Each structure stands twice: as C-alpha cells, then as structure tokens.
Amino acid sequence: MAERGIPVAVEHEPYDGFVVAKLDELASWCRKNSLWPMPFATACCGIELMATGASKHDIARFGAEAFRFSPRQCDLMIVAGRVVMKMLPVLQRIWLQMPEPKWCISMGACASSGGVFDTYAVVQGIDRFLPVDVYVPGCPPRPEQLLQSVIDLQDKISRTGTVLGREFRGRGQPEGPRSLRTELDAADQIVAPGNFRTSTRSWSLPTVNDRPRA
C-alpha cells in the first residue's frame, strides 16, 4: 500500500489507549461485524429472511440486523428467492448501485441454481450473471442456515478483506458458471430485444429478430 501513496499503520510503543493492528485487518474487523444487508427478497426465502430477522432467530446477534432497502446504504445483498427473466436486470442494477466493498449471499436453491423451477422464465442460478460469495442450500434454508452463512461471510471478510478493496481488483471476468447461452447452438442464442429503458440488459446480444428462420 505504501507504493500507492497511502501511509501504512506504524507500530507504536504499546500503551493504554492504543491498539496496534494492520489497517486491513482493522477495516475488515469493522466491516464484518456491521454488515448491512439489502434484502432482495423475491419469494419464499424472503419469508424465512423475515423470520431470521424476527425475535426467535434474531440476526442482530451477528451485527447484521440493519436491513436497508436502499442499495446505497448496504454492503451485503441477500438474494432470497428465485430470480426470473423480468427481474434479473433489476437485480443487476441494484447490485451495481451498491457501494464497494460489497458481498452477495445467494439464499436458497432457486437463487443458487434455479432449484425446482427449471422453466422458461427462471434464471438458472444468479451466479451466472453476478458474483456470489456464499451459497445457502435449502428450499428454503432454515434461519439457522442463513445465520451460518453470515458467519461464513464474516470469516471470508476477515481472511480476504482489504481496506481499499484490493481483493476485488483484476477480476474482470465473470467467475460463476459459464452462461448457458454459450452452450446453445448459434441458432438458439436468442434473446428478447432489450427495450427496458433502464435495464442493464445487453443490447449487443443477438435478438429474436436476428434469429435465422427455418
């Protein structure tokens, strides 16, 4: 970090009132214990997410009870429930609106892989289109599982976190499974033309009108 012109924390003589730590660790320690989740709750898992926030399970014990519905205030997105074609551009837009550093928990089978909904409308796992840090299995997962995933994420943050988000740099390629589009025949690689005014849907991908007709 010194080479980027940022002072590195210098070791002091240890005496009362001072803590000596690496800045990275200090930042990670702060971040992991005050995660602000953005509940992207679409379906059944959203109710379990509410149950996790309610009194019996009480996610506040892990410092993550400050649910904020504005993505600008959050650093943890919990995608709870299946994400469908119409919703994915919204999801990506909200993800882009969240400030760095940010993490994503994919809660439940539907968000992680499409689950039982292997149909025309459901995206087969959000990790094909978004970076995901922790997957939670279950349909829906129990609140305890979601709490465990928060603990796991805290562990990940304390291991890899840096104060300037160096761990995210240079990762310019999507890291999830390959988009299924590439596995299809060229003739089947169609999309509906993207005319959502505000979407992040791609304009460069082929549209159904470009499809060679038999």
- Which of positions 105-164 make contact with other proteins (CB under 8 A)? 116-124, 128-131, 139-140, 142
Sheet with 134-136, side-by-side order of all strands? 37-41, 76-80, 103-107, 134-136
CB 44, CB 4: distance < 8 Å: no
Closest approach of Cβ 13 to other proteins, in Å?
40
Q: How many whole angstroms separate alpha carbon 138 and alpha carbon 102?
A: 24
Distance set, CA 70 to CA 39, 40, 59, 108, 204 (Å): 10, 10, 19, 22, 30
Residues with Cβ within 8 Å of 188's Cβ and at least 6 positions away in sequence, in order, are none
The residue among 86 and 159 lying less far from other proteins, judged by its C-beta, is 86
Does residue 2 interact with other proteins by CB under 8 A? no
Could you tell me how many residues of this chain bind other proteins (CB under 8 A)? 73
Closest approach of Cβ 86 to other proteins, in Å?
5
Pick the piece of the chain touching other proteins (CB under 8 A) from 1-9, 18-26, 83-91, 153-161. Answer: 83-91
Give 86: exposed, middle or buried? Use CB within 10 Å, 0-12, 13-18, 19+: exposed
Q: Which of 173, 212, 213, 214 touches other proteins (CB under 8 A)?
A: 173
Does residue 66 interact with other proteins by CB under 8 A? no
Query: Which residues, numbered 26-65, are part of the site for other proteins (CB under 8 A)?
Result: 40-44, 46-48, 50-51, 54-56
Does residue 197 interact with other proteins by CB under 8 A? no
Does residue 212 interact with other proteins by CB under 8 A? no
Pick the piece of the chain touching other proteins (CB under 8 A) from 2-10, 15-23, 27-35, 186-194. Answer: 186-194
Q: Using the structure block, give the residue that is written with the tokens 């001072």.
A: 18
CB 134, CB 149: distance < 8 Å: yes
Pick the piece of the chain touching other proteins (CB under 8 A) from 7-15, 18-26, 153-161, 196-204. Answer: 196-204
Closest approach of Cβ 164 to other proteins, in Å?
14
Closest approach of Cβ 12 to other proteins, in Å?
35
Closest approach of Cβ 66 to other proteins, in Å?
13
Q: How many whole angstroms separate alpha carbon 100 and alpha carbon 62?
A: 21
Does residue 1 interact with other proteins by CB under 8 A? no
Q: Per the structure block, which two tokens stand in for 121?
A: 């409308």
Q: Per the structure block, which two tokens stand in for 12?
A: 């002091």
